[in-house]
């Protein structure tokens, strides 16, 4: 009953109050460690990513497709020639 009173005082719902408390409890253990802050950053979803240097061109779809093709070719080669691995 006391929790409902606190929720009403904060002009929110009991469910929102419980969710916020759970997020606050879980958050510290979920945050990834940044091994090198000068090279990496933590993105909006909490995922570690490579920091972009200012002035660097962004990745194009052609570059993405080229990487995908190279990975697919590598996988195909590994499957068709297992003795090489």
pTM for the structure as a whole: 0.36
In the chain, the percentage of residues whose pLDDT exceeds 70 is: 91
DSSP 8-75: HHTTS-HHHHHHHHHHHHHHHHHSPP-S-TTTEEE-TTS-EEEPPPTTPPPPPHHHHHHHHHHHHHHH
Mean pLDDT confidence for 56-63: 83
**What is d(CA 77, CA 3) in angstroms, rounded to the nearest whole number?**
61
Q: Domains in the chain: how many in total?
A: 1
Mean pLDDT confidence for 2-29: 81
Structural domain of 70: 2-84
């Amino acid at each position: 009953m006391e929790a409902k009173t606190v929720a009403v005082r904060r002009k929110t719902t009991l469910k929102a109050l419980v969710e916020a408390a759970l997020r606050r409890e879980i958050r510290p253990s979920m945050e990834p460690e940044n091994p090198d802050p000068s090279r990496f950053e933590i993105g909006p979803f909490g995922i570690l990513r490579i920091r972009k240097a200012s002035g660097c061109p962004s990745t194009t779809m052609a570059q993405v497709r080229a990487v995908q093709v190279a990975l697919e070719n590598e996988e195909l080669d590994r499957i068709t020639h297992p003795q090489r691995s």
